[in-house]
Amino acid sequence: MSQPQDILSPITDAAIFLTVCVDPGGEETVKDLLADVPGLKRSVGFRIPEGGLACVVGIGSGLWDRMLGPPKPAGLHPFKELRGETHAAPSTPGDLFFHIRATRMDMCFELAQLLNDRLEGVARVVDEVHGFKSFDERDLLGFVDGTENPEPYEAPAAALVGEEEPGFEGGSYLIVQKYLHDLTAWNRLTVEDQEQAFGRTKLDDVEFPDEDKASNSHLVLNVIEDENGEERQIMRFNMPFGRVGEAEFGTYFIGYAGDVGVTELMLERMFIGVPPGNHDRILDFSTAITGSLFFVPSAEFLDGLEDAGAPADPADASDPPAPAEGGEPDAGSLGIGNART
């Protein structure tokens, strides 16, 4: 399999989540930057090897079309908005996503700065979240988050695209959502009611027996199986964030999957409910304010972008670009594949 980006690197104490929108015409600059991301990561990370710096970059559907054209990963499309009877998962803009992790925030920050410098004039950061590790991997609702992630031997199969998508092996479908919690209302619940909402104990993080789990608990709605009874998993690296003065208490949800349909089914079960109307109880205290889907290509794919460049502007080329087969020349074409807008 192609080498993936640093998706499956260990849990860290700090992370920066950057969502970026790219201006029309910025595609070539972005392509150059993407090929350089591993080098920029080394510039920051090599000096402090124990910092475990990792950077994963994802590409949104619209930018993929504009910058790379076909072939396109089969599951890459704009994030599908969900409207349940009570709660909604909005779809918000995002062309590029950077998931930067390290044991130290200074390393994440420096890399974010370098990336942002390279995007100046061609792209804007539309959402920036600085996540931190809270005690023993707890979210701000007070529960340990990440326990049931796939074990290391299962993680590649859950998180990475396999040979079912030739050309995109080692890639991953990344869904991110920014949630804000109503901690005042949550803290009015008894600990027993909070535990029912998740289906696990709060202090020692033990899963309830199946017969004791509520049908609207987070666990019941997120444990899904295929037709052979095999559990379908994703890899989550959620992190808390917030600002006490603004009463902002959040969870940044970030889930990698080899099959985007798995994460989408989880979301559908949470927001629409099973049966419809029986939504995830944690949504009564957690509001999704962003939602985006990205494809995280393999490390080799990123590396290859350096050579994929053709002049974006036909004026730069000595010969006018040849028309695409069966089509007219496209003045805005990158000259690679069949770029669409």
* Interacting residue ranges for ligand HEM, rule: CB under 6 A: 139, 141, 143-148, 177, 179, 198, 200, 218-219, 222-223, 234, 236, 238, 251, 253, 255, 263, 266-267, 282, 286
70 within 8 A of 327, measured Cβ to Cβ: no
User: Which is closer to ligand HEM, CB of 105 or CB of 144?
Assistant: 144
Q: Which of 36, 127, 145, 259 is catalytic?
A: 145
Beta strands 235-236 and 239-243 are: unpaired
State in angstroms the smallest separation of the CB of 198 from ligand HEM. 5
Q: Select 232 or 340, whichever has its Cβ closest to ligand HEM.
A: 232
Shortest Cβ 265–ligand HEM spacing (Å): 9
Cβ at position 136, least distance to ligand HEM in Å = 12
- What region does 257 belong to: left with phi over 0, alpha with psi -120 to 50, or beta? beta
| Known active-site residue 145 | yes
Q: In the complex, what is the shortest distance from the CB of residue 283 to ligand HEM, in angstroms, rounded to a whole number?
A: 8
Cβ at position 246, least distance to ligand HEM in Å: 18
How large is the C-alpha radius of gyration of the chain? 21
Q: Which residues are catalytic?
A: 145
